[in-house]
Chains A and B, each alone.
Chain A
Amino acid sequence: MGLFGLFLAMFLLVHLTINLLLLCNDGGELFTAASSFMGTNIAIKIFEYVLFGGFFIHIIIGVIITLKNWASRPVGYLVANKSHTSFFSKYMFYTGAIIFIFLILHFMHFFFIKIGWVQVPAGLEKHDFYKMAIALFTNKLYSLVYIAFFIFLGFHLNHAIQSGFQTLGLNHNKYNCTIKRVSLIYSLLVAGGFSLVPIYFMFFF
């Protein structure tokens, strides 16, 4: 789970870079070029399946392990645990479930339209992701929901990166502090970076 989690975290950076192209005031030229490259390049198309596999395995293993963990304590405590632990680590399954809901919503708005599972919104073309994005982000309610989901993704990533390193045994007293800092910075970068796009469309577009 840790290995696939770290892989998915790396993918987010690629996705964020393309999303930030929406902020270029060029009528979507760069964004359209990047998204059509992602949609047509054969290597990227193959990688798309690897990515789906990554999501699938990460989610399935996460659910199986969580169910096994719950079964390891059939009788619970009367007083909930008060041990000093990192806050976000206790809610990884729940933040993960929230992100999963967003993922379905996100697929319905973009990927399922592309592969023809969901009807193209009226007045838009199948591959015109720029106009689809604008139609969504100019809707203030959608933008706020989008930002809320990315705040939860930030919570998830904050623990996930360092947790992935620990699970893989990539632990060293020289680098442990750096890994924790990178975890924090990366979660802020992803949550903040993705949220910049709806904020831009809500207030400056």
Chain B
Amino acid sequence: MDLTLKIWRQKNSSSKGKFETYKVNDVSPDSSFFEMLDTLNQQIIEKGNDPVAFDHDCREGICGTCSLYINGRPHGPKRGITTCQLHMRSFKNGDTIVVEPWRAKPFPLVKDLIVDRSALDLIIQAGGYVSVNTGGIPDANAIPIPKMNADLAMDAASCIGCGACVASCANASAMLFVGAKVSQLALLPQGKIEAANRVQKMVAEMDRLGFGNCSNTYACEAECPKEIKVTNIARMNRQFMKAKVCAEKHEAASFGG
């Protein structure tokens, strides 16, 4: 396959970026998208230039490190996969592929295609955990959990925090991410105890960081590599409103011990 690539190049966060056009020839349809980018980088390095910087780690769709907005879709044209699981057979010989970084105010650009997604970590730090005291391990059967809740919590927990939901959303909203992180705990008995406090803190942090608001276009669900459902957003909204109306006021409500 012979391809033309239009890639966003930007030296650092303060410099001005622009699209550069590259040609890559003899690409195997069975190679992965990243192998194709590795080939391109090899060509660039051999010419003595700076290779294209992009995020990647596990290259098997489990770590959530890779990103890339490819031809108008986060993680490329296939449903339910990350960029590292994308293969060149998804494109045609002679195609022009436009590769852009995730674009959102809370994701400042670091270099080329790499953005800083630590805003998502800050939301987790605001309350996306369960305060567990140390002690003896309780019997597994001592806390009955309905199978459906266990399954829904597991589905929500499959979020790898890649940020594709933010990248695809017309409003750069992180509500699918936060909805999943709220749901994975709120659906289980251990997480219910701090549920009201958690949802308020995580939503407040999301707003503070400058993410947009959900207008229910559901692009996030369409692009999530783990196919997380927008019902998690509805659950978060429900819990948030319930917490705002019913939860008692805490003096310096805090987690942990």
A residues apposed to B, CB below 8 Å: 65, 68-86, 89-90, 92, 159, 162-163, 166-171, 173, 176
Q: Is B235 an interface residue (CB 8 A)?
A: yes
SS of A interface (majority): loop
Report A-chain residues with C-beta under 8 Å of the C-beta of B240.
169
In the complex, are the beta carbons of B212 and A68 less than 8 A apart?
Answer: yes
- B218 to chain A minimum Cβ distance, whole angstroms, is 6
In the complex, are the beta carbons of B217 and A89 less than 8 A apart?
Answer: yes
Residue from the list B74, B211, B219, B233 in contact with A72, Cβ < 8 A:
B211
Report B-chain residues with C-beta under 8 Å of the C-beta of A89.
215-218
Q: How many residues of B contact A (CB 8 A)?
A: 42
Q: Is B255 an interface residue (CB 8 A)?
A: no
**Looking across the interface, which residue of chain B has its beta carbon closest to that of A167?**
B237
Task: Give the complex CA separation of A135 and B211 in angstroms.
Answer: 50
Q: Is B23 an interface residue (CB 8 A)?
A: no
Report B-chain residues with C-beta under 8 Å of the C-beta of A72.
104-106, 171-173, 210-212
B residues apposed to A, CB below 8 Å: 6, 8, 19, 69, 71-74, 98, 100, 103-106, 168, 170-173, 210-219, 222-223, 230-231, 233-241
Report B-chain residues with C-beta under 8 Å of the C-beta of A73.
103-105, 171-172, 212
Given contacts A78-B8, A176-B231, 19 further A-B contacts (CB under 8 A): A68-B213, A71-B105, A72-B106, A72-B173, A76-B103, A79-B98, A80-B72, A81-B73, A82-B71, A82-B73, A83-B72, A159-B216, A162-B216, A166-B230, A166-B233, A166-B234, A168-B237, A169-B236, A169-B240
Task: Give the complex CA separation of A166 and B237 in angstroms.
Answer: 8
Report A-chain residues with C-beta under 8 Å of the C-beta of B168.
81, 83
Report B-chain residues with C-beta under 8 Å of the C-beta of A69.
170-173, 212-213, 215
